[in-house]
Structure 1
């Protein structure tokens, strides 16, 4: 079958689905920030596209332009017979909880969100151990810095992003206890995911304080961080997708969050999808760091050996990385 990915945009007046879906065609709803953010949303698109290419299947996807469209999009997809309906971003938790019970024959997936599995047995909540992957890139930063000062730029200031920052700081301190870590957030509302100018300004301020490695976990805002790092001759660290290619020689590595695999697996399962709660971590390769032709010359053998050993120890339970989201505290950095 010829690959045909059905895509449509959202108009200010609302959402209109003009085609009737075949039974069990999957659908994908991106979080604010855009499908091609080169990070979280784009990872979801890559996973869906891989599923379509390998199976000859079709999926429908949509980019939202406002918070108000979340529940509307979920209902329209369910009414048209799409299943599973897959969403990206924690902000879908409440909309899915509001909608799922009205469509018991539809499977819903929230990536990064959480929906009570007892109240909504047709929902799969997929979470990630971002703190584990961030610990590893923090080690790389701590072993690479020449100024003993590194930094972090997050998008929206929420526990999930502090989870990235805290894991990163722990990794830095594990190998360089004298290092200084400068954390900043772009903002406190969803616009923080799509403000590369503010991301750039924060990175510039951190560089002026001596940072020579900056980790960006900020959606499209992170692109401004990485560009500024490249322009100023310091290292950037990408997130979610492998962003090493964006500025060859300047991206030290990327913290991988395999949203692509989560989407691919959900689409592959179709209506046989097992609902409930899943966690993707180092043990099942749900998180990690990127090493490829763009950055393999930037990380020396001794650093890689130490990081790989730490990864094995985390999986074995010999190293425990504190998860900020469990108690809203971080032993390695103050916010």
Structure 2
């Protein structure tokens, strides 16, 4: 599998642009692209890139699983710091032109680029994770009920805190991350309506580093811990590593996100402070889209949403302290059943 580093992609940009420009005069080039056998999966990472032990790494795990299952290669490409939509368009076009199918943008920031490039390459299937605004026959919108797993995280936090004081840290102040906060707060308050909850967003926009700055996450967590929180839940991508580091330093609990962060090798020295993680099955979404294109020859399209019902979201139970807490597990089971049968309506904002 070929991978392009964050530094390398910047060096390739000029050459890629030249290829793009030279092809502009031929509409047939775009129409015919992707019509042959798929070379494999093209994956373009979100802010923070691979190595975040969270969102992007879950997507990479799905790519690896598909490579092994279907005997194809894959190409995963890192984002550039401060890049524009035009950079994302160029990246997706290069993947499509090179024969990768499906081509997947990891994160809602790819929405404008996927919309533009999918129209140019109708024979290529595109996926976008965490956005359902792109409506096209060759686009699969891979989205999730993040608020449901966050509700369970809130229950876990409220059942675990010794101070009735917990915290939430979001990477960027956007509607997607508001869903995490809303579910977490509602779940915690279902256990204790008077529980104190610290809430903070690291940045207003993604390009300010909210999803890619462990130092920002660590500083925010230190502030919440100093204020009295003894369980802190993050939805902050790579920045969440700083939250977990701070939790370990203060010997309080952190709740991870997207991937099972208790199991992540890069976070092993902090694992005993990771109570659980609110999982989003990005790995499965990437794999399933690849399977639909490469093996089934019936590409997914439209909105495909993961939930508690279909296993698209859940809570990790790797930490024995979490798994063996009978009272906590009973409360989580009751909450999950309520969400699934509709007696609990989880808020999204």
TM-score normalised per structure 2: 0.86
Q: CA deviation at 1:126?
A: 1.2
User: Contact (CA 8 Å) 1:252, 1:299: kept in 2 or not?
Assistant: no
Q: Does 1:135 align with 2:151?
A: yes
1:111-157 CA distance string (max 9 Å, x none): 1022342xx21111111000000000100100111111100111111
Of 144-153 and 6-15, the range deviating more from structure 2: 6-15
Structure showing the higher helix proportion among its residues: 2
Paired residue for 2:342? 317
Partner of residue 227 from structure 1, selected from 219, 227, 245: 245
Paired residue for 1:40? 55
1:37-88 CA distance string (max 9 Å, x none): 0000000001111121233221111111143321111111112221110111
Instruction: From the superposition, tell whether residues 308 and 298 of structure 1 become closer, same or farther in structure 2 (CA, over 3 Å).
Output: closer
User: Contact (CA 8 Å) 2:171, 2:236: kept in 1 or not?
Assistant: yes
- Corresponding residue SS for 1:155: strand
- Corresponding residue SS for 1:284: coil
Q: CA deviation at 1:295?
A: 3.6
Distance 1:84 1:42 in 2: 18
1:193-212 aligned at under 5 Å gives the runs 193-212=211-230
- Corresponding residue SS for 1:282: coil
Distance 1:263 1:116 in 2: 17
Q: CA deviation at 1:215?
A: 0.3
Q: CA deviation at 1:299?
A: 5.5
User: Contact (CA 8 Å) 1:154, 1:161: kept in 2 or not?
Assistant: yes
1:82-122 CA distance string (max 9 Å, x none): 111011100111111111111111110001022342xx211
- Corresponding residue SS for 1:28: strand
Paired residue for 1:60? 75
Paired residue for 2:10? 12
Q: CA deviation at 1:269?
A: 1.2
User: Contact (CA 8 Å) 2:41, 2:63: kept in 1 or not?
Assistant: no
Paired residue for 1:329? none
Paired residue for 1:29? 44
Q: How many residues align?
A: 316
Paired residue for 2:25? none
Paired residue for 2:330? 305
Paired residue for 1:264? 287
CA RMSD, 1 decimal: 1.8
1:24-173 aligned at under 5 Å gives the runs 24=38, 25-66=40-81, 67-68=83-84, 69-117=87-135, 120-173=136-189
User: Contact (CA 8 Å) 1:214, 1:237: kept in 2 or not?
Assistant: yes
Distance 2:123 2:72 in 1: 20
| Ranges in structure 1 where 5+ consecutive residues have no aligned partner | 325-335
Instruction: From the superposition, tell whether residues 107 and 71 of structure 1 become closer, same or farther in structure 2 (CA, over 3 Å).
Output: same
Q: CA deviation at 1:297?
A: 5.1
Instruction: From the superposition, tell whether residues 124 and 140 of structure 1 become closer, same or farther in structure 2 (CA, over 3 Å).
Output: same
Q: Does 1:214 align with 2:232?
A: yes
- Corresponding residue SS for 1:193: coil
Paired residue for 2:205? 189
Distance 2:325 2:344 in 1: 23
